[in-house]
């Protein structure tokens, strides 16, 4: 079993620090891809990369048995790191969502499986996926044809570092685990003008302010009270100097939902509100909408979830497994199960915080420039969890019932 003392001096800790120090954003993970591919080849896996998209797929064969896919995402975020850790990012990006832990944990799991190959039989397909943060990495990797040289899996398994469950523990839930997400980029175009004469033009900034306020009524006044949804405006860009009213303004609307009905309701409401406010302001040009991000619901197969929960409780103890509430964060992990027509299950593992940021209030979480997991706890927990579930799946207790 991996221990904290062993992690601190292990090659995995050094590997984690290297990934953390050199993060790369979505679809630009070239160094990361090359590093992973080399590590997998050193371990004797059948390795494939793509000429059209970043990411790696590696297959570890060990006789007859189930084909189990294990997935880790590899991209970072466009954030300037503020953690102060000795291995802080040396690029203009940051692993602020734990994907460096995910990569390291999957490689550590492969090492465990190789070391213990006398105890299991079957095939492991290791998926290192690009561009999860923009919601299109899984689809792009599948479309690239990278899986043509690898066996089709019977089940797809994945995990995410988390501050929502206690350090060294795990958690998940059956059925819907994570929300669907959509982002629309909205562009407003007018004539612009002098700030001293706003009556001679349509002030796009005032118009956008009215839109932003009105959008907040979608959840409170249009989504049924028994449903959960989030609507946020994440960016607004307009103007150059204070005495010019801009002739163009763009903003982005991000929405989270747990049913297709609410998802459609939100999209229709966003477009209705933007168009109505534009007309009320006298804007001549129609607002332009671009659907730039789309994440699917992340749904755990119920029967397979019970197998995963049993494996995790066996590894960590039932008292260290939490049945979590549905999460409004989103993931494109579910694209793999849907594409292959097989069950998929996703869970969280608690990482704690690095000592450099452990005393910050409030405690930093994912997508914060101050987020840094405790690397020793994170690696130990991630490897233990993924290995335990992989071995249970390889034992054949996950039935390879392909979805039709």
160 is in an annotated binding site: yes
DSSP 247: S
Q: Which two tokens stand for residue 78?
A: 């466009």
133 is in an annotated binding site: yes
Measure the CA–CA gap between 253 and 347, rounded to whole angstroms.
28
Q: Decide the pairing of beta strands 56-62 and 122-129.
A: antiparallel
> Which H/E stretch holds residue 1?
none
Binding residue per annotation — 116? no
Question: What is residue 367's three-state secondary structure?
Answer: coil
Q: DSSP secondary-structure letter at 134?
A: G
Q: What is the DSSP letter of 3?
A: -
Query: What Cα–Cα distance (Å) separates residue 13 from each residue in 74, 100, 145, 147, 316?
Result: 17, 11, 32, 29, 22
Tokens of 243: 């005495």
For residues 342 and 155, the answer to whether their CB atoms sit within 8 Å is: yes
How many other CB atoms are there within 10 angstroms of residue 38's CB atom? 12
- Residues comprising the binding site for Mn(2+)? 97, 99, 133, 160, 367
- Residues comprising the binding site? 97, 99, 133, 160, 367
């Amino acid at each position: 079993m991996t221990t904290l003392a062993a992690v601190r001096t292990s090659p995995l800790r050094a590997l984690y620090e290297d990934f953390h120090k050199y993060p790369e954003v979505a679809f630009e993970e070239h160094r990361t891809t090359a590093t992973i591919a080399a590590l997998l080849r050193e371990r004797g896996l059948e390795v494939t990369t793509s000429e059209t998209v970043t990411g790696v797929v590696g297959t570890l064969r060990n006789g007859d048995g189930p084909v189990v896919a294990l997935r880790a995402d590899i991209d970072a975020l466009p954030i300037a790191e503020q953690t102060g850790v000795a291995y802080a990012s040396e690029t203009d990006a940051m692993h602020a969502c734990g994907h460096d832990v995910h990569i390291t944990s999957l490689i550590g799991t492969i090492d465990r499986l190789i070391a213990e190959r006398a105890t299991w039989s079957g095939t492991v397909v290791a998926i290192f996926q690009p561009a999860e943060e923009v919601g299109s990495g899984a689809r792009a990797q599948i479309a690239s044809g990278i899986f043509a040289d690898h066996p089709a899996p019977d089940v797809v398994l994945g995990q995410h570092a988390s501050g929502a469950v206690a350090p060294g523990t795990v958690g998940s839930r059956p059925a819907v685990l994570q929300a669907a997400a959509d982002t629309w980029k909205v562009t407003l175009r007018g004539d612009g003008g002098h700030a001293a004469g706003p009556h001679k033009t349509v002030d796009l900034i005032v118009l956008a302010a009215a839109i932003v306020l009105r959008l907040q009524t979608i959840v409170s006044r249009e989504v049924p009270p028994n449903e959960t949804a989030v609507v946020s405006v994440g960016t607004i860009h307009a103007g150059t100097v204070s005495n010019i009213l801009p002739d163009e303004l763009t903003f982005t609307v991000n929405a989270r939902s747990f049913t297709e009905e609410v998802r459609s309701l939100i999209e229709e409401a966003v477009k209705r509100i933007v168009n109505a406010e534009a007309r009320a302001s006298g804007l001549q040009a129609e607002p332009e909408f671009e659907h730039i991000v789309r994440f699917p619901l992340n749904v755990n197969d119920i029967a397979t979830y019970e197998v995963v929960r049993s494996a995790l409780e066996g590894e960590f103890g039932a008292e260290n497994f939490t049945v979590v509430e549905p999460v409004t964060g989103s993931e494109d992990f579910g694209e793999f199960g849907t594409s292959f027509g097989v069950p998929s299950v996703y869970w969280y593992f608690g990482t704690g915080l690095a000592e450099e940021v452990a005393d910050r209030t409030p405690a930093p979480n994912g997508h914060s420039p101050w987020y840094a997991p405790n690397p020793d706890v994170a690696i130990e927990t991630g490897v233990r969890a993924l290995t335990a579930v992989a071995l249970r799946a390889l034992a054949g207790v996950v039935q390879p019932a392909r979805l039709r």
